Chain A
Amino acid sequence: MSREAMMASIRESLGRTPGQAISAPPEARIRIPDVDEESRVGQFLAALEALNARTFVAPDAASARQYVASLTLGKDALASNAPLLRELGIADLDGVRCGITQLDALREHAARCDLGITSADFALADTGTLVMFSSVEEARLISLLPPVHVAVVPRQKLLSGLDELFALNPEPARRSSSMVLITGPSRTADIEQILVRGVHGPGEIHVVLL
């Protein structure tokens, strides 16, 4: 009812008729800069540090595991089901819970634990961004409810920026119901423009680059 009324009103205002063809839209503007892997790593780490995120470049699996172990020591952590975390032995660390696929159990643990550990589908070098698609491997709440988020990312996932992300994923909706870009710790400046971290999401982020 309202749909028909609104559509009729829109068409009348625009002078268009139902089913009328449209002129071609402006071409999408995608410009991927030519940045080699070393420079991407440099940009990514610098951007993250500027955001007050902690970074660690892991030369091998053992050192990645060791770094995460230093964070989970004596803590209660929840790891996502990303195969990478199992391969690296992070899922088996003391105090780390992994393998949850039920919503209720996920909510309960994510709301209670001290740390959430995930991987990421991509990372964007120029802005220090993690890109996460929701799936059975990556639940949305693990990077959101705990006060600390630890992300372990292979350096092959490092893209130059937004343009490369949308060139590789022209239709993110085909892949998942949710794609989230995370750029640094949760923050606000709502009171007197004073920067406060850790409002609703994690106030602390660690990125381990493999």
Chain B
Amino acid sequence: MKEITAIQPQLHPALDNPKLQLAIYTATGRLVDKRKGTVAEESLPDYQELRSQANALKRHAIDHLDYYLELFQRNVEANGGKVIWCRDGKEVVDFLLGLAKQRKSKVLVKSKSMTTEEIHLNEHLEEHGLEPVETDLGEYILQLAHEKPYHIVAPALHMTRYEVADIFEEKLKIEREEVPEKQTQIARGILREKFLEADIGVSGANFLVADSGAVVLVENEGNARLSTTAPKVHVAVAGIEKVIPRAQDLATFLKLLGRSGTGQPLTVYTSFLAGPRREGEIDGPEEFYVVLLDNGRTKVLRDADKRQALFCIRCGACLNICPVYRRIGGHNYPWVYSGPIGAILTPQFEGLDKNPWLPHASSLCGACGEVCPVKIEIPRMLLELRADIEAEKAAKGEDKLEKLGFQAWARLMSNPMLYRAASAAGSWVLQDAGDGGWASQLPFFLNAGPTKGWLSQRDLPLPAPKSFRQLWKDRLRQPPSSVPVRQQDATDEGHSA
């Protein structure tokens, strides 16, 4: 395999591991096919209209976020719940620590939430002696293995049943089990105890419904239902951008989310949770909290165009279809959000200077934009971010070398004498540089720095034996009869005669 230097050195493990390549390719391919079937004309004729409606709703909600968050809070309180506003992860941790102390509880059951991954909630709670337990099967496996999710929807996509067997054997001290059905039953048994023991259940939120003060959770396993039903306290941790105006808008969003994520018209469970248990109801939590997390979101709002990255409903469709994600996998992205959506979220959350390569990790094929159920213009956002990164460099004066290069280039291209000399020199340098018409590296004295990096991913066509200028000159020099005439031209002449 070719040496990789141009992107990131840490990409080697994913690219050099054929098993992992196959796992990513098969899993994402299956998700792509399933999605395609459920959004096809015959199964969902109004798919495109739903996408437009979802985009309009998200745009409206985000553009008036202050209004809808206030409305949401009023309705949560009317239902008997509480809203906790947190600027960052520390405030969330502090709130949960206080709650655990007050309830004298140690175990927290958690259902899948990317938002809590963002703030490393588990690690922080563990530092304070609490025991947060992930209950989604994939997340549970990852928690045992101390890994971060590989995919927004299928967190353990990169693992084989044999690796799961290794992890269970080592961490749970049980007899080796390699059959997924049985592995699932093992997890069910252990986690069932935790559900019944825990006083606090922590969930994420797929949607916050402003007119109802409700949290909507979408899942297949039943762990989100259990986390929000069995414990005495339910805490939903959600990014502020999750708010939608009305319960009726779910008729739009729910049709898109399951189909785009896993190719299901509806996932197995959709929970619409509006506050603690009410009088007369037999079960459900006694206390209901919604933690509204900023963690950089208000900063992203500033850019009226690029704030559309916040429309994301975390379906993962753009990851599955992305030729880059499918090669490099989820762990090569620097933040919790991977794939094309990660490439536009991460720089906006963490700053353009932190991972400037990220918006460039795209072939700009446009597939991500086409599959996005809320019509985020991901390819255009990638270009905008690339431009922003360059502008920032220019402002800092970091583009001096590049400027110099282009000045030299301009000089060369506008001066025929110089151009001829340079192309002759180029031909000479490259004449022995490769075979089969392509050069994969330059002679040693040029094979360094940017040229080496550039060529590590690309081959350069070798120069033709004669340049166009030379061919033209030769042609003019020859008598007309000896110049070969193309067949097409000959027939045309015959007709006109």
A, B co-complexed: yes
List residues of chain A with CB under 8 Å of any chain B CB.
Answer: 2-3, 5-7, 9-11, 13-14, 16, 18, 20, 22-23, 25-26, 28-31, 100-103, 106-107, 111, 124, 126-127, 129, 134-136, 139-141, 144, 162-163, 165-167, 169-173, 176-194, 196, 198-202
B163 to chain A, nearest CB (A): 9
A18 to chain B, nearest CB (A): 8
- Cβ–Cβ < 8 Å partners of A171 in chain B: 211-212, 247
Nearest to B226 among chain A residues (CB) is A200
Contact of B199 with A by CB under 8 A: no
- Cβ–Cβ < 8 Å partners of A2 in chain B: 85-87, 91
Q: Which of B133-141, B405-413, B475-483 contacts A (4 or more CB under 8 A)?
A: B133-141
Contact of B272 with A by CB under 8 A: yes
Q: Given known contacts A178-B272, A190-B137, is B250 in contact with A200 (CB within 8 Å)?
A: no
Q: Which of B59-67, B117-125, B358-366 contacts A (4 or more CB under 8 A)?
A: B59-67
Contact check, A180 vs B184: say whether CB atoms are below 8 A apart: no
Interface range on chain B: under 10, 10 to 19, 20 to 34, or 35 or more? 35 or more
User: B67, B223, B269: which contacts A22 (Cβ < 8 A)?
Assistant: B67
B216 to chain A, nearest CB (A): 10
Q: Given known contacts A22-B64, A134-B283, A193-B154, is B240 in contact with A144 (CB within 8 Å)?
A: no
B111 to chain A, nearest CB (A): 9
Contact check, A191 vs B226: say whether CB atoms are below 8 A apart: no
User: B164, B230, B276, B280: which contacts A191 (Cβ < 8 A)?
Assistant: B164
User: A6, A144, A178: which contacts B294 (Cβ < 8 A)?
Assistant: A6
Cα separation A25 to B266 with both chains bound (whole Å) = 25
Q: Which of B53-103 contact A (CB under 8 A)?
A: 53, 56-57, 60-61, 63-67, 69-70, 75, 79, 85-87, 91
Interface string of B260-302 (1 = CB under 8 A from A): 0010111111111111111011111000100010100011011
- Cβ–Cβ < 8 Å partners of B223 in chain A: 199-200
> Which of B66, B187, B240, B255: most chain A Cβ within 10 A?
B66
Interface string of B424-441 (1 = CB under 8 A from A): 000000000000000000
> Which of B69, B274, B292: most chain A Cβ within 10 A?
B274
> Which of B180, B262, B302: most chain A Cβ within 10 A?
B180
For the complex with contacts A29-B251, A179-B272, 18 further pairs of A-B residues with Cβ separation under 8 Å are A6-B85, A10-B240, A103-B283, A107-B283, A136-B280, A171-B212, A171-B247, A177-B278, A177-B284, A178-B271, A181-B266, A183-B264, A186-B269, A190-B155, A192-B159, A193-B27, A196-B181, A200-B221
Nearest to B57 among chain A residues (CB) is A26
Considering the complex of A and B, which 9 residue pairs feature the smallest CB-CB distances, nearest first? A201-B222, A173-B274, A190-B138, A200-B222, A13-B301, A173-B212, A3-B85, A28-B248, A199-B221
Contact check, A140 vs B283: say whether CB atoms are below 8 A apart: yes
Contact check, B60 vs A26: say whether CB atoms are below 8 A apart: yes
Contact check, B221 vs A201: say whether CB atoms are below 8 A apart: yes
- Cβ–Cβ < 8 Å partners of B159 in chain A: 191-192
Contact check, B212 vs A180: say whether CB atoms are below 8 A apart: no
- Cβ–Cβ < 8 Å partners of B32 in chain A: none
Contact of B160 with A by CB under 8 A: yes
Cα separation A131 to B67 with both chains bound (whole Å) = 31
Q: Which of B3-11, B188-196, B388-396, B484-492 contacts A (4 or more CB under 8 A)?
A: B188-196
A91 to chain B, nearest CB (A): 16
Q: Given known contacts A106-B283, A144-B225, A190-B156, is B220 in contact with A172 (CB within 8 Å)?
A: no
Contact check, A166 vs B274: say whether CB atoms are below 8 A apart: no
- Cβ–Cβ < 8 Å partners of A201 in chain B: 221-222, 225-226, 268-269
User: A126, A176, A191: which contacts B180 (Cβ < 8 A)?
Assistant: A191
User: B67, B240, B271: which contacts A6 (Cβ < 8 A)?
Assistant: B240
Interface string of B136-175 (1 = CB under 8 A from A): 1110010000000000001111011100100000000000
- Cβ–Cβ < 8 Å partners of B57 in chain A: 25-26
- Cβ–Cβ < 8 Å partners of A126 in chain B: 265
Contact check, A14 vs B65: say whether CB atoms are below 8 A apart: yes
Nearest to B136 among chain A residues (CB) is A190
Contact check, B66 vs A16: say whether CB atoms are below 8 A apart: yes
A72 to chain B, nearest CB (A): 21
> Which of A13, A14, A178, A196: most chain B Cβ within 10 A?
A178
> Which of A20, A140, A173: most chain B Cβ within 10 A?
A173
- Cβ–Cβ < 8 Å partners of B249 in chain A: 28-29
Q: Given known contacts A26-B53, A134-B284, is B268 in contact with A13 (CB within 8 Å)?
A: no
Contact of B456 with A by CB under 8 A: no
Cα separation A169 to B248 with both chains bound (whole Å) = 8
Interface string of B25-64 (1 = CB under 8 A from A): 0110010000000000000001001100100110011011
- Cβ–Cβ < 8 Å partners of B183 in chain A: 191
Contact check, A173 vs B247: say whether CB atoms are below 8 A apart: yes
Cα separation A23 to B64 with both chains bound (whole Å) = 9
Cα separation A179 to B221 with both chains bound (whole Å) = 17
Cα separation A5 to B477 with both chains bound (whole Å) = 79
Cα separation A172 to B213 with both chains bound (whole Å) = 11
User: A26, A106, A199: which contacts B222 (Cβ < 8 A)?
Assistant: A199
